[in-house]
Structure 1
């Protein structure tokens, strides 16, 4: 009889682990074809991710396939986190960046959930869970992949950055390669 609970626990853990895998296959329509989440559904997801260290579904989030020039800020505090010139397609289904705008804008913590060692990324000012950093990023850009939940960030298009108070980051967004930082 002890075998059944152990088997059930193994199935649940193994089944849930696929949500947190390094890379997944896209099984949903691209974000442009997906219906928009209601504000209340987005806030529930944001609470799960940012307050309770959750993870949104791969390929089923707003920014995984965004290629527009601009700035990504923390969804609640507005703290500048990443620029579009450091974003790349990692194949994971989540927005991925090679580095933050300012390394001091984030904090990193060891995370041993899901049966593996990962490094959690949190916003410094808000202390909100953003995602994880892995050492499988582009080697020419430092080798790191900052894998971020879309619901934990907000995108500000380049054309709106000055009006929203982020003009100091325009040079980073405008640079063809932001390797001068």
Structure 2
């Protein structure tokens, strides 16, 4: 009489792998698409900043020509108080434009190298009337310091800041403006987290 013994057991089968080739391929495709989208957004931002840079440089050159013409007129006649004041104003505007050009160049470099989301948001809301010379981040609080070509440009810039991802949920607690001797109009803007502001 023959006796059969079944040695088959499911535990002897190799475990089923959760990570299949198809899943790996899909994951790689998703990463590739995200990388392309990110690179495209950075490229578009850099193009916009380059356009602003060119426009600002053209305005600065025009101001320098007008300043030179006025200086030539002053040299040919007795000093006119109005002309002298106008030359001083042009000199201040040129200085501001020069600072703005430096800031735009820095933003172009930061954006093209994919720096932090805050820097990308600042690049998105940048305009030719605002120049940041310092900003500080402490936990959820922000401090922005800079110069502006006109007082009404700052509130407009703040409204655009409120729409960015980084500054969502922030309450703009205070803003001060000051015009120093022979300096453009400066401003300081501070924010606090919305939860703190409500308390």
Q: TM-score, normalised by structure 2?
A: 0.24
Which of the two has greater strand per residue?
1
Q: TM-score, normalised by structure 1?
A: 0.26
Which of the two has greater helix per residue?
2
